[in-house]
């Protein structure tokens, strides 16, 4: 199951949290996505449009533009009825931290008398005026339940049931944690660059054994 990070924006360049703010892709961000598409999207490739049974797309304009760049007109026409633009896969709502750097958030919290024992950790503490880790987990779990329902009956490749997520770096890392049943507060260092593609799968062809797919055999398809 591929997940696709939206490309670069002006705020990702500087490392600012970009949640509710609807920041468009930069020209280079669009190039990142187009470059990825040329390499991994197509018949027999990692993202084969003929094998896709569902797409979950963040409603933010940078994610919707990524979708437009990732797939050609014919593929998008064939996806009619398969695309779900959903708030469940939007970026983490950073609340009052939106548009700020981690260093600014930590300094502000310290100035308000918070985090006296340890530095702020979004995976544990959530965001003031935004989402808690539990709220994020709950909405991601809803998508995961849908995916397991779609893919569960076809664990041995009886038909193509690939699912594509097009969203954002932070929420996709959170999704990967929930995919393998990790609490968001559990440490699992993951990186996903702008415009990059990650893959999640299952062990032993069992829907109740989700796994992170570290290596992809580009000569064949993975469920």
- Average pLDDT on 139-145 reads 98
For the cut 50, the answer to whether the pLDDT of residue 222 exceeds it is no
77 or 214: which leads in pLDDT: 77
Fold designation for 2-212: Rossmann fold (3.40.50)
B/e letters for 204-222, b = 16+ CB within 10 Å, e = fewer, are eeebeebeebeebeeeeeb
User: What's the confidence (pLDDT) of residue 65?
Assistant: 96
CA distances to 9, 97, 161 from 112, rounded to whole Å, are 30, 14, 49
Angle between helix 27-40 and 61-70 (nearest 10): 40
Rounded to whole angstroms, the Cα distance separating 74 from 193 reads 28
Provide the pLDDT confidence category of residue 195 given band limits of 50, 70 and 90.
confident
Least confident interval from 156-160, 171-175, 217-221: 217-221
User: What's the confidence (pLDDT) of residue 220?
Assistant: 46
Rounded to whole angstroms, the Cα distance separating 124 from 121 reads 6
Rounded to whole angstroms, the Cα distance separating 75 from 65 reads 15
For the cut 70, the answer to whether the pLDDT of residue 112 exceeds it is yes
User: What's the confidence (pLDDT) of residue 171?
Assistant: 96
| Burial (CB count <10 Å: 0-12, 13-18, 19+), residue 37 | buried
Please give the sequence-ordered ranges of beta strands (E in DSSP) within the chain, or none if there are none. 2-5, 52-57, 83-85, 162-167, 197-202, 210-212
- Per-residue tokens: 145: 């339940």
Domain range annotation of the chain: 2-212
User: What's the confidence (pLDDT) of residue 139?
Assistant: 98
**Who contacts 113 (Cβ-Cβ below 8 Å, separation ≥6)?**
none
pLDDT in tens, 64-85: 999 999 999 999 999 999 999 9
User: What's the confidence (pLDDT) of residue 21?
Assistant: 85
Least confident interval from 52-66, 138-152, 208-222: 208-222
């Amino acid at each position: 199951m591929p997940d696709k990070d939206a490309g670069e924006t002006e705020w990702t360049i500087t490392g600012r949290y970009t949640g509710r703010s609807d920041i468009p892709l930069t020209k280079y961000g669009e190039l990142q996505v187009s470059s990825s598409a040329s390499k991994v999207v197509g018949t027999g490739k990692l993202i084969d449009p003929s094998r896709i049974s569902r797409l979950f797309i963040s409603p933010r304009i940078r994610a919707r533009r990524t979708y437009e760049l990732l797939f050609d007109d014919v593929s998008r026409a064939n996806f009619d009825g398969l695309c779900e633009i959903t708030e469940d896969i939007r970026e983490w709502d950073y609340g009052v931290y939106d548009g700020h750097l981690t260093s600014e958030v930590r300094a502000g919290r310290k100035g308000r008398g918070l985090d006296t024992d340890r530095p702020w950790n979004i995976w544990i503490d959530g965001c003031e005026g935004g989402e808690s880790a539990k709220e994020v987990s709950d909405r991601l779990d809803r998508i995961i339940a849908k995916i397991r329902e779609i893919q569960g009956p076809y664990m041995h490749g009886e038909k193509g049931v690939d699912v594509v997520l097009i969203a954002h770096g932070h929420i996709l890392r959170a999704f990967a944690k929930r995919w393998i049943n990790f609490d968001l507060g559990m440490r699992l260092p993951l990186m996903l660059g702008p415009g990059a593609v990650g893959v999640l799968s299952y062990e032993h062809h069992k829907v109740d054994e989700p796994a992170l797919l570290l290596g992809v055999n580009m000569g064949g398809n993975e469920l």
